[in-house]
Amino acid sequence: MRVEFSQSIEKLAAADESVVFITGDLGYNAFENLRDVMGPRFINAGVAEQNMVGVAAGMAYKGFKVFCYSIAPFVVYRCLEQFRNDVCFHNLPVFLVANGGGYGYGIMGSSHHTLEDLACLSGLQHVTAYVPAFSDEIEPMVQHIATQARPTYLRLGAGKKTPVDSFQTGSFKVVHAAENPEITLVTLGPITNNALFALHEQENLLKSVTVLAANTFPLEISETIHTILAGSSAIVIAEEHISTGGLAQQLSVQLLEKGIRPDRFVSLHAQGYPGHKYGSQQYHQRLSQLDAASLAESLQSLLHHV
């Protein structure tokens, strides 16, 4: 999604001279186009994330809209205090952009993984978080972020194109509507691609499992989504995030408040490092039962009991 993000910022910056882009010494061979187009509005802050966000807050106070880019763990954890105190408390248009959420940086290990970002950020004042599942969602999200002009977190990963006939409603994109829905699978970000592959060529799952991709927080449950969830015998959550403060926990609160009580509620989430080893993103997804094969197995097992 980094290419789509770069192209979107280039288009936005050409149309809006208040847009500033700050990178934490990352993005080589990816953002040269921005450097050339934006000139002095493209800033390399160096390996100094706290200072990057402090500078961004000052610029936002003066009327600029500032995108701050780094890899996910650096832009979330290193500058959390500055984002909270300097940006969120003052409701300033500073937008944290994180590349490689979840286990995205694989073998580089836990210091480079981002499994608690929504738990850290979505409770802060005024923050909206965006977690796209598909690459073609980036441009409209970037445009919307700039228009809203409030503290924002954008978590990038690796995703394909949005499936045909998908549609957005509230905080969710309906990416597969089952003919005879028994289970609703609610996914976070690029895990949606694993979910769709899990249903591929499995006729009973295609007919029985509706797939929703949650992509904005705080969660907004529209009437359409309320109807889908209320009519489900089982709700399954799949997210590359720990259970605390993630999609499952935030959604379950809203379900209870709205009186939606499925017979089964299953949370599939990042398990950390149960084998005490590091590997690729796919390796960690398998350990957490978030890969396509594991999702298919979980759904088939659940389908026999609903």
Instruction: Report the CATH number that the domain containing residue 7 is assigned in CATH.
Output: 3.40.50.970
Whether 148 and 192 share a structural domain:
no
Our measurement of the distance from residue 249's CA atom to the centroid of its chain's CA atoms, rounded to an integer in Å, reads: 15
The pLDDT assigned to 50 comes to 95
Among the candidates 96, 121, 156, a domain finishes at: 156
Predicted confidence (pLDDT) per residue in 2-42, tens digit: 889 999 999 999 999 999 999 998 877 789 999 999 999 99
Confirm whether 239 is domain-assigned: yes
Helices (H) and strands (E) in the chain, counts: 13, 13
Is pLDDT of 306 > 80? no
Cα 298 to Cα 189, 236, 266, 280, 284, distances in angstroms: 19, 9, 10, 22, 17
Residue ending a domain, choose from 156, 191, 216? 156
CB within 8 Å of 138: residues ≥ 6 apart: 1, 4, 5, 8, 132, 156
- Mean pLDDT over 70-91 rounds to 96
pLDDT confidence band for 86 (50 / 70 / 90): very high
According to the model, what pLDDT value does residue 30 have? 80
Could you tell me if 184 and 138 lie in one domain?
Answer: no
8 with 137, same domain?
yes
* First CA to last CA distance, the chain: 37
Both 184 and 133 in a single domain? Answer: no
Q: What is the pLDDT of residue 28?
A: 78
pLDDT in tens, 242-271: 999 999 999 999 999 999 999 999 999 999
Number of domains in the chain: 2
Question: Any idea which of 61-65, 111-115, 301-305 has the lowest mean pLDDT?
Answer: 301-305
> In terms of domains, do 274 and 243 share one?
yes
Q: Are residues 199 and 291 in the same domain?
A: yes
Verdict on whether the full-model pTM lies above 0.85: yes
Q: Tell me, what's the pLDDT at 29?
A: 77
Range of the domain at 17: 2-156
- Per the domain annotation, does 115 fall within a domain? yes
Q: In the prediction, which pLDDT does 7 show?
A: 94
> 277 with 222, same domain?
yes
- Cα 294 to Cα 299: distance, rounded to the nearest angstrom: 9
Task: Give yes or no: residues 143 and 214 share one domain.
Answer: no
Asked whether residue 283 falls in the same domain as residue 175, the answer is yes
162 within domain boundaries: no
In this structure, the dihedral spanned by the alpha carbons of residues 64, 70, 72 and 73, taken in order and rounded to 10 degrees, is: -110
| Residues 125, 219 within the same domain | no
Same domain? 72 vs 198: no
Query: Final residue of a domain: which of 97, 121, 156?
Result: 156
Are 79 and 193 in a shared domain? no
User: Could you tell me the strand order of the sheet in which 264-269 lies?
Assistant: 167-169, 172-176, 209-214, 183-188, 234-239, 264-269
- The mean pLDDT of 61-85, rounded to a whole number, is 96
What is the pLDDT, as a whole number, of residue 13?
A: 95
Q: Which H or E element spans position 22?
A: strand 19-23
pLDDT of residue 85: 97
Phi first, then psi, for residue 188 (nearest 5°) are: -115, 120
Asked, for residue 108, whether it belongs to a domain, the answer is: yes
For 156-169, what is the mean pLDDT? 92
Indicate the pLDDT class of residue 172, thresholds 50, 70 and 90.
very high
Say if 40 falls within a structural domain.
yes
Take residue 127 and report the two structure tokens written for it.
Answer: 């923050």
| Alpha-carbon span 285 to 291, nearest angstrom | 5
CATH number at residue 198: 3.40.50.920
